[in-house]
Amino acid sequence: MLKVANLRVQYGRIVAVRRVSFEIPPNGALAILGTNGAGKTSCVEAVAGLLPKAEGTVTFGARDITGAPANLIVRHGIALVPQLRELFLDFTVEETLLAATAACRDRSAVGREEIYSLFPRLAERRRSLAGNLSGGEQQMLAISRALTTRPALLILDELSAGLSQGILGLVISSLQKIREAGVSLLVVEQNLEIAAALASECLVMSVGEAVWQGPIREAIDSDEIRKAFFR
Ligand SMILES: Nc1ncnc2c1ncn2[C@@H]1O[C@H](COP(=O)(O)OP(=O)(O)OP(=O)(O)O)[C@@H](O)[C@H]1O
Ligand SMILES: [Mg+2]
Whole-number Å distance, alpha carbon 191 to ligand 2 midpoint, is 13
pLDDT at 160: 92
Q: Is the pLDDT of residue 222 over 80?
A: yes
Q: Convert the pLDDT of each residue in 198-211 to its tens digit.
A: 999 999 999 999 99
Per-residue confidence band for 230, with pLDDT thresholds at 50, 70 and 90? confident
- The ligand that comes nearest to the alpha carbon of residue 33 is 1
Separation CA 132–CA 135 (nearest Å): 9
pLDDT at 225: 87
Whole-number Å distance, alpha carbon 229 to ligand 2 midpoint, is 15
Domain at 2-229: CATH code: 3.40.50.300
Per-residue confidence band for 179, with pLDDT thresholds at 50, 70 and 90? very high
User: Integer distance in angstroms from the first to the last C-alpha of the chain?
Assistant: 32
- The ligand that comes nearest to the alpha carbon of residue 38 is 1
Q: Whose CA is nearest to atom 2 of ligand 1?
A: 11
Separation CA 170–CA 193 (nearest Å): 15
Q: Is the pLDDT of residue 103 over 90?
A: no
Calculate the alpha carbon distances from 178 to 70, 88, 149, 184 in Å. Answer: 22, 24, 13, 9
CB neighbours of residue 147 within 10 Å: 25
